[in-house]
């Protein structure tokens, strides 16, 4: 009897990859399908922490440049999906499954609410975010994440905040955080630990406002959506930052919107001020429910 498969092919950053893996792990169990996850090679060791039974397949070179949600929006969707399915089949699945018929595949583009089980042997999921990210993630649970206390440098006595900077060349982003950080210091009376994939802004804010920060390993990638390069932490650094935020008093950006509307209203030209919630923030809050600190 042939096995049935649920296959994730979405190109994304590490945080959305982890979120999607948690969601699709539960969905594959519900559908009684084996889960296959295509992803960036550097993400695989971290993703295995959340599902060690899943088959992870590293992207071939230029996969994410050829096919991503930005390019899909610029094309006729039906034609784009057919071309993408043919690409996936030839590059990954013909060798793995002995050249299956293309009629055995069904492709879905959307979130969990858009995916349906079918009679097809292969369900391809190009999982895209929407307005339900937090809601959908919190419908799913994961096993506890056990961490020894000796490896935790910061606890709930420290305030952590994810310093967003989606365009390093825009000086108004620095002005924005210059306005926010003193208010946080005044209102919370806790030492602030800055979390960001951009070392320059952490050093600027940390030195100016006497905040804690750590210089991390980064990488620079071009964002089709933003139209500029974005500096991000490498995968292992992002994961370490997630765990740090989950173990401390983390302030997600959505709380800043509620608490300091008079400041944010002055910076609505910065797209991250009005955009949907950051994946890092959603995931950090989610993981905080599953962290268990073990005594050494």
Mark whether 134 and 197 lie in a shared domain: no
Mark whether 135 and 182 lie in a shared domain: no
pLDDT-based confidence at 222, cuts 50/70/90? low
Mark whether 86 and 207 lie in a shared domain: no
Q: pTM, whole model, 2 decimals?
A: 0.93
Comparing C-alpha atoms, which of 98, 125, 124, 101 is closest to residue 111?
A: 125
Average pLDDT over residues 68-92: 83
Domain C-terminal end among 93, 113, 142: 142
% of the chain with per-residue pLDDT over 70:
94
Mark whether 200 and 282 lie in a shared domain: yes
Average pLDDT over residues 153-161: 95
Give me the pLDDT at residue 1, please: 40
The domain in which residue 132 lies consists of 5-142
Mark whether 215 and 228 lie in a shared domain: yes
Number of structural domains, the chain? 2
Residue 227 in this model has a pLDDT that exceeds 70: no
Give me the pLDDT at residue 228, please: 63
Mark whether 203 and 227 lie in a shared domain: yes
Q: Where are the alpha helices (DSSP H) in the chain?
A: 14-31, 44-47, 63-66, 69-73, 77-88, 94-96, 133-137, 171-188, 199-209, 235-247, 253-259, 261-264, 271-274, 279-287
Mark whether 119 and 159 lie in a shared domain: no
Residue 108 in this model has a pLDDT that exceeds 70: yes
Mark whether 109 and 241 lie in a shared domain: no
Q: Identify the helix (H) or strand (E) that includes residue 38.
A: strand 34-39
Domain C-terminal end among 91, 121, 142: 142
Q: Which residue has the higher pLDDT, 117 or 151?
A: 117
Residue 190 in this model has a pLDDT that exceeds 50: yes
Give me the pLDDT at residue 168, please: 81
Mark whether 165 and 103 lie in a shared domain: no
Residue 128 in this model has a pLDDT that exceeds 90: no
Domain C-terminal end among 142, 167, 202: 142
């Amino acid at each position: 009897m042939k096995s049935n498969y649920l296959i994730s092919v979405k190109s994304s950053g590490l945080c959305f990859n982890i979120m999607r893996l948690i969601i699709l792990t539960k969905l594959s169990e519900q559908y009684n399908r084996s889960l296959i996850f295509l992803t960036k090679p550097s993400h695989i060791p971290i993703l295995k922490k959340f599902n060690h039974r899943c088959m992870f397949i590293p992207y071939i070179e230029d996969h994410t440049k050829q096919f991503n949600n930005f390019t899909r929006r610029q094309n006729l969707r039906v034609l784009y999906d057919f071309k993408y399915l043919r690409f996936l089949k030839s590059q990954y699945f013909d060798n793995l499954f002995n050249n299956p018929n293309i009629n055995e595949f069904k492709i879905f583009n959307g979130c969990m609410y858009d995916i349906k089980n079918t009679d097809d042997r292969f369900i391809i999921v190009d999982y895209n975010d929407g307005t339900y990210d937090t809601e959908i993630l919190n419908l799913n649970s994961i096993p506890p994440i056990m961490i020894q206390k000796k490896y935790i440098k910061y606890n709930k006595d420290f305030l952590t905040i994810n310093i967003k900077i989606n365009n390093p060349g825009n000086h108004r982003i620095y002005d924005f955080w210059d306005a926010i950080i003193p208010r946080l210091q005044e209102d919370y009376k806790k030492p602030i630990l800055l979390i960001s994939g951009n070392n320059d802004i952490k050093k600027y804010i940390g030195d100016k406002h006497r905040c804690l920060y750590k210089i991390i390993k980064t990488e620079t990638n071009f964002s089709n959506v933003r139209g500029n390069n974005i500096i991000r932490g490498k995968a292992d650094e992002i994961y370490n930052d997630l765990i740090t935020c989950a173990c401390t008093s983390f302030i997600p950006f959505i709380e800043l919107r509620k608490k300091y509307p008079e400041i944010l209203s002055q910076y609505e030209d910065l797209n991250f001020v009005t955009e949907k919630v950051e994946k890092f923030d959603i995931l950090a809050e989610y993981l905080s429910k599953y962290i268990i600190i073990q005594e050494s």
